[in-house]
Amino acid sequence: MAQASAPPVEGAPARFTHREIMVTMGGLVIAMLLAMLDNMIVAPALPTIVGDLGGLEHLAWVTTGYILASTVATPIWGKLGDLLGRRFTFLSSIVIFLVGSALCGMSQNMGELVGFRALQGLGAGGLMVGVMAVVAEIVPPRERGKYQGVMMAVMPVAMIGGPLAGGFITDHLTWRWAFYVNLPLGVVALFVCWFTLAKLGRGTGRVRIDWTGAALLTVWITALVLITSWGGSQYDWGSVQIIGLAVLTVIGFVAFVLVERRAAEPIMPLTVFRDRNFSLAGALSFIVGFALFGGVTFLPQFQQFVQGASATNSGLLLMPMMAATMVVSLAGGALVSRTGRYRALPIAGTVLMAGGLGLFATMDTDTSRTMTSLYMVVLGAGMGCLMQTTMLIAQNSAPLRDMGAATGAATFLRNMGGSLGVSVLGAIYTSTLTDHFSSVPGAAAGGNGGGVAQMTPQVLRGLPEAVRHLFQQAVTDGVGAVFAWGAAVAVVGFLVSLFIRHVPLRGFAAPAAENPAVPGSHLESDKPAPVAG
């Protein structure tokens, strides 16, 4: 196992051998899998949980509480890693996640479950940003692509395996094991990372927490997440509650920016946004989250209502997209490590993303599963080009001393893009579906008076053929509108990607040899000739 060494000079990355990196990656992959897998496993168990604990009115908060806590915690964990050291904060986030998981499994009522899910989300925020920040510290930028490609390949495993595992656990064990299953995996990750990360530095040594900035960040992020969670569902978009939250978001954000500009150790250093590539990568992360996650969320609606797939099968039918994401992510990471070039990947990724979403927008009630699978491959290839490359660009544009904060900011922007995408595109889907179905006289009556809100695939199969066809057409139109808007946003992403500059990736160097071209960076000192693409 790695031997402890003298504390590194501030700004100098720890040196890890290839063997040490591979052992460490085992623990990091498990930690990332825990963070991504949790919601996927819990989702199939939610109906059983409500039946056991009651509290249907709090059902949404089982998910919202987790998302809210993890989103708020992400940039804070990132900055704490810079101040206190990556090892301490990452191990702390694992412990918090495991404690939250155990308490969730022991919940006796819905209020306890929501509270413990929030605690679990606090830990999950540290897992997501911690994994990427640790990889950035132990792997040179030139080699980082192939390792981050492995991390991004975890996402397809979580999206496909999560619902299957959750359904199996719920059917054959008890819903409480949807939370307990995290414990053995988390203990393994904790054990591995405890030893393998011992060589990491202990932060800057200046432990000055920006409590005011953290509080303001929490206020405006919380308000924004509540808008995206409640708007158009629990409250109308023009309601007093939503407008009040919007005002609070704006005021909190402005106050946050003013405080961060003056703080000695800001939670989210605004200086990282001065680098053009970092700002562009952040904008691209937001756009990717909005278009991809916002659009893909509604694909199962088409598969279940129009193509007749079951809930489990609709998850399996996403496999072509996830397989393409995994293959392209791994191949792209290897390509970046071999050539040192990455600018072409976000450009190609946004083109494929826009093309895939545009193809989905052309679907009709006769579109076959084979055809949608082909569309998924195009979209999945775009995801594979973008997911890890945007993070690589963001990290390559930030100094090592701010690596955690930069990673947290990039992760935060992607998560917020996904949250806003689901909310906004969800409002478009619901409006289109309701307008199309309700405009047909007698359609609601044909649905037994339940209307669109109570429609399920089981109910739909029992309706008269004419009404069933009308509803399927309405679903198709709604999903088509969602993907059309997603494609339009992806085109904006393509335009953003054209402005990304190619900054050559190099190996680690001592602080005295830092690259003057990128202030505070940890690139080699030899200044290479400009590279165009």
pLDDT digits (tens, 9 = 90+) for 82-131: 777 778 888 889 899 999 989 988 888 888 888 888 898 888 888 878 88
Q: Hunting for tokens 């988390």 — which residue is that? A: 186
Instruction: Give the dihedral sign, CA 375/486/390/502.
Output: positive
Tokens of 333: 């990471």
Which residues of the chain, if any, have pLDDT below 70? 1-17, 39-40, 43-44, 46-47, 50-51, 54-60, 64, 141-157, 159-160, 163, 167, 170-171, 199-208, 229, 232-233, 294-295, 310-316, 400-404, 437-458, 504-533
pLDDT of residue 510: 39
Question: Which tokens go with 67?
Answer: 């998302």
Q: Is 357 helix (H, G, I), strand (E, B) or coil?
A: helix
- Contact of 365 with 473, CB cutoff 8 Å: yes
Instruction: Measure the CA–CA gap between 12 and 421, rounded to whole angstroms.
Output: 39
- Pick the closest to residue 317 from 163, 431, 459 (CA basis): 163
Q: What is the pLDDT of residue 516?
A: 39
Residue 476 phi, psi (nearest 5): -60, -45
Q: What is the pTM of this model?
A: 0.70
Tell me, rounded to whole angstroms, the distance of Cα 265 from its chain centroid: 26
What pLDDT is recorded for position 223?
85
- Check residue 290 and report its DSSP letter: I
What's CA 59's distance to the chain center, in Å? Answer: 22
pLDDT digits (tens, 9 = 90+) for 415-437: 778 777 777 777 777 777 777 76
The secondary element (H helix, E strand) that includes residue 162 is helix 141-172
Q: Biggest alpha carbon distance in the chain?
A: 78
